[in-house]
Amino acid sequence: MPFHLTIDGGRVEGRLVRVADGSYELRADGFAAPLICPLPLPDDLDPAGYEVHIFFAGDVRESDIYQVYVRGDDGARRVGWFFPLLALESDLHDLADNEHFLRYARAAIDQFFDVFPSNIAEGAQLDAMDHGFRLTSFAPDTTMLLVVSISAMSQGGLFDLTRLYPYLTSIGVLDEAQSKGGTAVVPFLRPVGSRMKLIHSSPEFSDDKLVRALLTYAAHAFSSPVLQFFYLYQVIELLMEKIFSIEQDSIIAKINQARGEVSKVKEAMDDLTECISEKKRINAITDKYCSPTPSLSELVRSCRDLNLALGVKEGDALSKSLYPLRNLVFHNYRSFPDQNIEDLKQINFLFFEALPRILESFKSERC
């Protein structure tokens, strides 16, 4: 596919071409330049094809390469690879001779100029290109590539990009809009090990713009832990509002069905009292509306420890750990103790880690 780039002050149309020896050239009117890629790219690819998705992250290394797994009908299913653009420009990382990875690397190169946002593409000097060019001549070295196999997905693995944004954002992986054009990105939080297990939000949060916006703001607020906590907690507030709306409809229906029976009306009013309580609703998020119930023990324990250090009453439930901390942060936004900032950073890390799991299992019906 042709693409347009500014080269040496002029706008030209170019095309990436695979030549007979298996290498690549960028060809445009009047010149050709080889792609500098030291990897031994394969000749064969899966005829079913691949999907290539562009993201951005800060502080990435050429070795940040992960096999991508999703939940399938028969358990975890491998569907592709996630790696930085830098990995295509080096043969010093551990996957440089991995045949499986190299197929996905070639698929990424084949489709790169089809999918890379043209408004982010950078110019390259023509005289420099005469000796060859790298993909980072046109794209920032913060570029990350998510390459998935179409045939692997057709075998039952769930892959829905619109439901992956909470998880990807939680590890600092942002798309073009979230990253402000690939130039202002947040640190990449590396998964443990060599596997990246994607967490899908439940269908009711598919491409939820408000959740996505709040998590994006939270990601960019990494240098301000108090502000970051504020944005993260707003997602909890949204879930509590959703619960209130559901419970309110249930209470109204119960009153209408009571037909004057005092005991049933009283029961409905007791439900209303419980529904109005923020503490009851924050516990209900996981206790009533998440299935399976995500483990938040580490987040709760960290919140309890910080509350204890700050002289705030604490307890084992979300309502007695996260909620008191919320009150302290919100009411002392400008005067949060400096000596406890690192503790709050750790809580934010655990909070970011927990939200995709909460959104994955949340359902708008009591479990």
Q: Are residues 62 and 192 in the same domain?
A: yes
Cα–Cα dist 320/328, whole Å: 12
- Please give the pLDDT value at position 248: 76
Same domain, residue pair 356 and 261:
yes
Q: Are residues 237 and 181 in the same domain?
A: no
Residues 58 and 195 in one domain: yes
* Whether residues 320 and 188 fall in one domain: no
User: Do 38 and 172 belong together in one domain?
Assistant: yes
Query: Is 207 part of any domain?
Result: no
Co-location of 232 and 156 in the same domain: no
Contact present, 39 and 52 (Cβ < 8 Å): no
3 state DSSP class of 320: helix
User: Rounded CA gap, 145 and 49, in Å?
Assistant: 16
In this structure, are residues 248 and 269 in contact, taking their beta carbons and an 8 Å threshold?
Answer: no
What domain count does the chain have?
A: 2
In three-state secondary structure terms, 71 is: strand
Quote helix, strand, coil % in the chain, to nearest 5: 45, 20, 35
Q: What is the reported pLDDT for 42?
A: 95
Query: Is residue 179 domain-shared with residue 262, that is, in the same domain?
Result: no
Q: Which domain holds residue 175?
A: 3-200
| Average pLDDT of adjacent 10-residue blocks, the chain of 367 residues | 63 83 85 89 91 96 96 81 97 96 97 85 55 85 96 83 96 94 89 95 93 96 95 96 81 65 63 68 91 94 94 88 92 87 97 97 77
The answer to whether position 156 is within a domain reads: yes
Question: Rounded CA gap, 366 and 246, in Å?
Answer: 9
Could you tell me if 186 and 261 lie in one domain? Answer: no
206 in any annotated domain? no
User: What is the pLDDT at residue 256?
Assistant: 65
Calculate helix-pair angle for 209-220, 225-258, nearest 10 degrees.
Answer: 160
Model-level pTM greater than 0.75? yes
- Tell whether 103 and 138 lie within a shared domain: yes
Q: Write down the pLDDT at residue 367.
A: 46
277 and 179 in one domain?
A: no
* Residue 250 sits in the same domain as residue 343: yes
Q: Is residue 171 a part of any domain in this protein? A: yes
In-domain check, residue 185: yes
In a domain, 120, yes or no: yes
